[in-house]
Amino acid sequence: MAAKILANLIIMGSGILARAVVQAYRQALANAAKTGVAQEALQNATRRASKVMTEQEARQILGVSEETAWEEIVKKYDSLFERNAKNGSFYLQSKVHRAKECLEEVYRGKAEGGMPS
């Protein structure tokens, strides 16, 4: 008889605890929505998930400016890519490659003369 009462108490207590956790979670979401934290977190997650490199970041990685000719960008890319292939890291090598891809799109968009088609 005592075991049955104890089991019922444990089950009821677990149900109450589960409802309290769900209610606290809902309240936390409501509070976050009011303060804009949820929107900011969503934007940050979206930005991280897209992994799109900005033109400014690409130029910083390759060490070039907006006035730099496409041929010079390719030279910088080749140099950095080879250096990281030999004794650098795959991460840096991939960043260099993504930077070149980003600037390639920018130069295509501007339709500047020195870029190969």
Asked if 73 and 61 touch (Cβ cutoff 8 Å), the reply is no
| pLDDT for the residue numbered 117 | 44
Q: Summarize pLDDT for 62-92 with one digit per residue, the tens.
A: 999 999 999 999 999 999 988 888 887 888 8
* Rounded Cα–Cα distance for residues 30 and 36 (Å): 10
Structural domain boundaries in the chain: 2-50, 55-110
Q: Summarize pLDDT for 46-70 with one digit per residue, the tens.
A: 666 556 788 999 999 999 999 999 9
Which pTM does this prediction carry?
A: 0.52
* Rounded Cα–Cα distance for residues 33 and 18 (Å): 23
Asked whether residue 113 carries a pLDDT value surpassing 70, the answer given is no
